[in-house]
Each structure stands twice: as C-alpha cells, then as structure tokens.
Amino acid sequence: MTKTLTRAELSEIIYSEVGISKTESAEIVDQFFEEMILDLVDGKSVKLTSFGTFLVKHKGQRIGRNPKTKEEAVIEPRRVTVFRASKELKRRVNNE
C-alpha cells in the first residue's frame, strides 16, 4: 500500500528538522500552498526547481459520451491543472 504525505506531516517535518514551533511550521506549509493556488488561479505556472512545474491548461468545449448509456453530452470548456515532473525528479524516482 502507498502512503500519502499530508500537510500535517509536512508541517511536522519542518517542525522537527528546522526547530520552529508547530504553529509556525503549519503556517509556513499553509502559506506555501496558498501562494501556489493564487498563482494557478491567476493562470500563472508554478515552477519548483528539481521538482516540477504546475500549469493551468484551457480545454475547449467538446462532445463526450456516457460510457454506460452511450449517450452524447456536451463537456463545457474548463481549466485544468497539470503537473510536469522535472528531469531530476524523474531520475530520482527511477533510482538512476
């Protein structure tokens, strides 16, 4: 089973490694994600060196199909968040 790293665990790691209070470490984690979200909402990309890039892509309207009923439906235009892993992250994940 794969374990998921949570915000609380990130905060705990910062608390134990850096030595600041638990409250401050939680605020740092929350502020980090809030800044990322605000930039993505504004349509900007977020690049984390040696990790990857988060982008917002625009998808146009298209016709989709319900797989159960085979009925066609219009899928409205929307924005989606995409993550592209850096070469360094890919290399480390693949133990190269």
pLDDT of residue 20: 92
pLDDT in tens, the chain (96 residues): 578 999 999 999 999 999 899 999 999 999 999 999 999 999 999 999 999 999 999 999 999 999 999 999 999 999 999 999 999 999 999 987
Question: CATH assignment of 1-44, given 4.10.520.10, 1.20.1090.10, 1.10.3720.10, 3.90.1150.10?
Answer: 4.10.520.10
- In whole angstroms, give the CA distance from residue 82 to residue 92: 20
- Say what the pTM is: 0.78
Q: Quick one: residue 74, left, alpha or beta (phi over 0 = left, psi -120 to 50 = alpha)?
A: beta
Percent of the chain with pLDDT over 70: 99
Tokens in use for 2? 């794969």
pLDDT value of position 1:
59
